[in-house]
Structure 1
Amino acid sequence: MTETTEMRPEGILPAHMIEDMFRNGAIRSETPLVDGQIQPASLDLRLGTKAYRVRASFLPGPGVTVADRLDALRLHTVDLAHGAVLETGCVYIVPLQEVLDLPAIISATANPKSSTGRLDVFTRVITDDARAFDTVGAGYSGPLYAEISPLTFPILVRTGSRLSQIRFRIGNPLISDEDLQEIHAAQRLVDGGDERIGGGVQLSIDLKGSGEGSLVGYRAKHHTAVIDVDLRAVHHPLDFWEPIHRRDEASLILDPNEFYILVSREAVHVPPDFAAEMVPFDPLVGEFRVHYAGFFDPGFGHGQAGGTGSRAVLEVRSHDVPFLVEHGQTVGRLVYEHMAERPRRLYGEGIGSNYQGQALKLSKHFKVL
């Protein structure tokens, strides 16, 4: 960077500070930003012009670039300029349009966008010299890459498609359980469950719905048509999903390696001065992964009627063995962090937010029946 970044309080950087990073060269791109790319506490990352099919996922490790690994593992190159289908069961590496030149005080983490996670597209961001996925060290200068592996549906992507998002932070703004208790008492972080706090706000699963026979989830079908990730409300849900309805016992056996869309029993609230993230997998609660897409922006569930917040949609995949989940069972944790400054516009305030006020809901690509 050519401009010195002034010291600021610890916290997640809001949209207006991300805009400042573009102006001072901490984030660069050869193409202009598009509407909605900067969210209240995150930046959507855009695919570049090429995708590289590789033999295996990888981490470069210290002193090694992603380009070095690609030279050894690349199978073939896919042109994304006019759109291309990424097949299930394959691993692709895509250079992203955004390039970083971070100040020494700013680090970042990445995650799939909510819509990406709800399609069961396994997406991670990689940097040069990386020892971990989705993690960008303070002061990193260099390119970003997306590793993309569609697990259930083949997807159509193109240059500019946005599958991942990145969140920038100064210091370690994670909020302790003791402070979360005080915030919850003042602002109600969750409603409708046992409201347990431990390692973050604990969330449980809703398998009762509104009554006997009500819709409580979806299980993905196999051998479906292609999903265009840039189109909204064009696909019929029943072509891709099997609805799951409540039974007497309000429980569900997760079949190994099947993908489910379920919903939390609790309504979630992220007040304006905070951001939140779902912990994707906790081996203490069962052999399954919950919520691939983990970012909850400031304002999620804020100001909803009656203060009830918005439900957290759960993207669930069981591993190795069938696993029984029951109504009210703990399935994940929501950790909260301080914002460095309050965003000037919150989630749901006229910025194309797709999931404000949601209950059980598929991704934006599907028609609402």
Structure 2
Amino acid sequence: MSLNPLPLEDENAGLFGTRFGLLGREKIRLMLRRKMIRVGGEIEPTQLQPASLDLRLGARAYRVRASFLPGRERTVEDQLRSLKIDEISLKESGAVLERGGVYVVPLMESLGLPESISAVANPKSSTGRLDIFTRLITDRSEVFDVVERGYEGQLYAEISPRSFSVRVHEGSKLNQIRFRRLASSQHSRTDFALSDKDLASRHRDQKLVDDEELNLRDGLILRVALSAETIGDIIGYRAQKHTDIIDVNRVGVYDIADFWEPIHARADRRLILDPDEFYILASQEKLHIPRDLAAEMVPIDPAMGEFRVHYAGFFDPGFGYTESGHPGSRAVLEVRSHEVPFILEDGQVIGRLVYEKMAEAPQELYGQIGGSNYQGQGLKLSKHFRMP
């Protein structure tokens, strides 16, 4: 009898079954138990979403001169030694991260992934709606927000508040990570999106949006809602320039009028985006993410407009579910114009939603667990504000 260990692929088959795709919260729990995900202190139940894990800031932050990637030969700590300006404690009352500054924070979670599992990260919805630009960095990496299969090491968040100065604390949650189990034939793949043909078939069986027909172009095309008939008299919000500090741990306490200017619907159904202003808008479409799929908003093709949409674009299984079965939640769009003013018109293409299969449907869906702050949303600011 051979005493050699099973190949890693077979070991993981015993742990995760035979299916490949995004791992649900039950399998993320298994990764925590197996120390594939390592945490400082106890895991918080609200960190576990249907298809992702919220990541927590550690005890210290470093202000740096500029954003960076470590590259193949260096660790993040190597770079910090040459770039950091100041070390800031996030313990007790936390610390203020100033608008326009760039900070790097070691996270409370680290990874020891097997060769069959990779990961990808993105800002949480609440983070994007505050215009906090945050990205995940790993050691010896040449890209943000991607964790290569088999990665062993610390995780870091790069944070740059763009509209508001924010107070953060040890344990604050600004970004999230999701894990993808790969078959050996998928190790070199970078695109896991369902095809337009698959999406059309799924829509015939169970509506993905509240329209009869899907607008498909390498994913589901979304259009901006700027009419009173669709979204109401207030069709968006624009961030004010000079405001108080927002504590990211405080929920439902801030007055909208102190931070945002409401944008009212116009008769011509247009909105002129001013250069370097930040807007919260909403999609015309109402969405529903089936229990066996997850979805991600990807930025619009730069050739289609002088703006960027959606820093935080991940939608867990169950988002937009209603008892009637009709899709029930709009996509909230975080929009920043670039160098020149740009006219948006009601119904203009503004983003693209790509779908990916879960390895298996999670037992608990978005809206059924804690932290589901945006189920059934229309035009909605982050959870920190008192909505009318």
Give the shorter-chain TM-score range: over 0.9
CA offset at residue 186 of structure 1?
1.1
CA offset at residue 350 of structure 1?
3.4
CA-to-aligned-CA distance 1:320-363 (integer Å, 9 cap, x gap): 11111100000000000000011010000132300000000000
Q: Paired residue for 2:131, among 120, 124, 127?
A: 120
Secondary structure of the equivalent of 1:19?
helix
Query: Taking structure 1 as reference, are residues 306 and 30 closer, same or farther at Cα in structure 2, changes over 3 Å only?
Result: closer
Q: Is 1:320 the counterpart of 2:327 in the alignment?
A: no
Q: Paired residue for 2:50, among 36, 40, 65?
A: 40
Query: Taking structure 1 as reference, are residues 212 and 360 closer, same or farther at Cα in structure 2, changes over 3 Å only?
Result: closer
CA offset at residue 174 of structure 1?
2.3
Kept after mapping to 2: 8 A contact 1:212/1:247 = no
Unaligned runs of 5+ in 2: 1-5, 187-191
Q: Paired residue for 1:137, among 145, 148, 151?
A: 148
**Larger Rg computed on CA atoms:** 2
Letter of the 1:169 counterpart: R
- Alignment partner, residue 290 of structure 2: 271
Query: Taking structure 1 as reference, are residues 198 and 157 closer, same or farther at Cα in structure 2, changes over 3 Å only?
Result: same
Q: Is 1:73 the counterpart of 2:83 in the alignment?
A: yes
- Alignment partner, residue 101 of structure 2: 90
Secondary structure of the equivalent of 2:80?
helix
Q: Is 1:106 the counterpart of 2:122 in the alignment?
A: no
CA distance in 1, matches of 2:248, 2:232: 32
CA distance in 2, matches of 1:27, 1:95: 15
**1:328-339 superposed matches below 5 A:** 328-339=347-358
Query: Taking structure 1 as reference, are residues 78 and 307 closer, same or farther at Cα in structure 2, changes over 3 Å only?
Result: same
Bigger mean CA deviation after superposition, 47-56 or 345-354:
345-354
Kept after mapping to 2: 8 A contact 1:213/1:247 = no
Bigger mean CA deviation after superposition, 192-201 or 159-168:
192-201
Q: Is 1:202 the counterpart of 2:214 in the alignment?
A: no
CA offset at residue 305 of structure 1?
4.3
Secondary structure of the equivalent of 1:109?
strand
CA-to-aligned-CA distance 1:93-142 (integer Å, 9 cap, x gap): 00000000001011111000000000000000000011110000111110
CA distance in 2, matches of 1:306, 1:9: 27
CA distance in 1, matches of 2:131, 2:45: 25
Secondary structure of the equivalent of 1:76?
strand
Q: Paired residue for 1:5, among 12, 30, 34?
A: 12
- Alignment partner, residue 65 of structure 2: 55
CA distance in 2, matches of 1:320, 1:117: 21
Secondary structure of the equivalent of 2:334?
strand
CA offset at residue 304 of structure 1?
4.9
Structure 1 runs, 4 residues or longer, greater than 4 Å off: none
CA offset at residue 8 of structure 1?
3.1
Kept after mapping to 1: 8 A contact 2:51/2:317 = yes
CA distance in 2, matches of 1:306, 1:209: 25
CA distance in 2, matches of 1:212, 1:140: 44
CA distance in 2, matches of 1:213, 1:108: 39
Bigger mean CA deviation after superposition, 186-195 or 68-77:
186-195
Q: Paired residue for 2:233, among 194, 214, 232?
A: 214
- Alignment partner, residue 166 of structure 1: 177
Q: Paired residue for 1:284, among 303, 306, 319?
A: 303
Alpha-carbon RMSD across the aligned residues, in angstroms, is 1.6
Secondary structure of the equivalent of 1:331?
strand
Secondary structure of the equivalent of 1:184?
helix
CA distance in 1, matches of 2:127, 2:27: 25
Query: Taking structure 1 as reference, are residues 169 and 212 closer, same or farther at Cα in structure 2, changes over 3 Å only?
Result: closer
Letter of the 1:283 counterpart: P
Q: Is 1:299 the counterpart of 2:318 in the alignment?
A: yes
Q: Is 1:341 the counterpart of 2:357 in the alignment?
A: no
CA distance in 2, matches of 1:306, 1:273: 15
Aligned length: 368
CA offset at residue 306 of structure 1?
5.7
Kept after mapping to 2: 8 A contact 1:304/1:310 = no
State TM-score, norm by structure 1: 0.97
Kept after mapping to 2: 8 A contact 1:275/1:298 = yes
Kept after mapping to 2: 8 A contact 1:106/1:169 = yes
Letter of the 1:5 counterpart: N
Q: Paired residue for 1:187, among 187, 196, 206?
A: 206
Kept after mapping to 1: 8 A contact 2:230/2:284 = no
Kept after mapping to 2: 8 A contact 1:217/1:244 = yes
State TM-score, norm by structure 2: 0.92
Secondary structure of the equivalent of 1:18?
helix
CA offset at residue 285 of structure 1?
2.4
**1:229-248 superposed matches below 5 A:** 229-248=248-267
Secondary structure of the equivalent of 2:204?
helix
CA distance in 2, matches of 1:90, 1:113: 20
Q: Counting helix residues as a fraction of each chain, which structure ranks higher?
A: 2
Q: Paired residue for 2:32, among 22, 28, 51?
A: 22
Percent same amino acid among aligned pairs? Answer: 57
